[in-house]
Amino acid sequence: MAVTDTSPRAPSRLARRLKTAIGLVLALAATFLGLLLVTFIIGRVVPIDPVLAVIGERATQEQYDAAYRALGLDKPMWEQFWIYVVNAVQGDLGRSLLTRQPVAQDIARVFPATLELATIATIFGVLAGIPAGVLAATRPGSWVDQLVRFVGLMGYSMPVFWLGLMGLLLFYGMLDWVGGPGRLDASYEMMFEFDVPRVTGMILIDTALSGKWDIFRNALSHIVLPAAVLGYYSMAYISRMTRSFMMNELSQEYVTTARVKGMPEWRVIWVHALKNVMVPLITVIALSYANLLEGSVLTETVFAWPGLGLYITNALFSADMPAVLGGTVVVGLVFVALNMFSDVLYRLVDPRAK
């Protein structure tokens, strides 16, 4: 005979989860609304006339007035903001003045290039930065520690554009080890355009899925240098934070107890201590990834990488404010999404977060 659980534990647990979900939705809505408010204000305070940007400076006063009303600028400010919010929720970020295409369509075209570059750079930063930080923390004051700290300091000190230019000069111009600017050579761009089906928009994945390994190798030769430049910056940040977290963790009592009981040193460091370090390190990696997704403007400019950073830069130089503001909204959404993802990982890595 089955026993029915009449305790209030299950309903209370469901109520807590429902409350957490509602709080998360409200927080996301408030964040998104605040992001739209900031971009709306920026679009209104910049010294650029949106009407002249659309119709040109040679338009007549009648044409100016008609465009002014067509853009909704004659409406009250609160109504303009409400229309802006409704359009943004529906995925309408306006129309680019430079490309004459919807901004959302332009961003969907350029964002995979940035996503591909930032992902490879973050993988490099994690795989190199975490072991380097752990080794430095376990040998404080040694030559390994000094080397890791020096490499990290150089990563913070050297300008990204200078490092990119020197990398192009050495590895592309002099040694010819890597491909040049852009995602592909000109001859391979036509092959990719007509022979490779678009699945993700990321060249390495799409060419691998279609079996076009010659285009894959050419794309790999182009991405390795800008990814290494960004990955070096990411590695410097991750290794420094890993070293700080590990030094604090290795001074805890449970580490001393494990060593006294005879547990192997590698297990104490790489299993127990590193597992606890991964909880705050998730936030560090997520923020580093977000910074690479939105902060690779100089790298994309130096390497002529047709991503989101270069798109926003060209739009800014052309006074294309719809494109600039639309890109800013997307960048903000990326930060929000990565923060949510890091919260989910918290619960997987640390059971106490449940």
Q: Where are the domains of the chain?
A: 23-89, 105-353
Q: Which of 271, 277, 283 is nearest to 345 (CA)?
A: 283
Contacts of 159 (CB under 8 A, 6+ apart): 298
Residue 283's pLDDT is what? Answer: 85
Alpha-carbon distance of 117 to 296, in angstroms, equals 9
Which residue type sits at 45? V
3-state SS class at 102 = strand
Residue 122's pLDDT is what? Answer: 92
Residue 216's pLDDT is what? Answer: 93
Tell me the sheet residues that pair with 95.
102
Are 216 and 201 within 8 A, CB to CB?
A: no
Residue 201's pLDDT is what? Answer: 87
The CATH T-level fold of domain 105-353 is MetI-like fold (1.10.3720)
Locate 46 and state its tokens: 């910049």
Residue 350's pLDDT is what? Answer: 63
For the CA atoms of 43, 66, 53, 91, the dihedral, rounded to the nearest 10 degrees, stands at 50
Are 323 and 108 within 8 A, CB to CB?
A: no
Tell me the sheet residues that pair with 186.
none
Number of C-beta neighbours around residue 35 at 10 A: 18
Locate 161 and state its tokens: 């554009």
Number of C-beta neighbours around residue 233 at 10 A: 22
Residue in the structure block whose two tokens are 């332009």? 106
Alpha-carbon distance of 338 to 104, in angstroms, equals 20
pLDDT tens for residues 53-112? 667 677 777 777 787 777 777 788 888 888 888 888 888 888 887 788 888 899 999 999
Alpha-carbon distance of 298 to 327, in angstroms, equals 16
DSSP summary character for residue 60 = -
Q: Which of 291, 290, 176 is nearest to 225 (CA)?
A: 176
**0.85 exceeded by the pTM?**
no
3-state SS class at 95 = strand
For the CA atoms of 11, 17, 19, 24, the dihedral, rounded to the nearest 10 degrees, stands at -170
Residue 1's pLDDT is what? Answer: 46
Alpha-carbon distance of 114 to 101, in angstroms, equals 20
Alpha-carbon distance of 306 to 182, in angstroms, equals 7
Task: Tell me which residues of the chain have a pLDDT lower than 70.
Answer: 1-11, 53-54, 56, 294-295, 349-354
Contacts of 184 (CB under 8 A, 6+ apart): 192, 203, 215, 218, 219, 222
Locate 346 and state its tokens: 């918290």
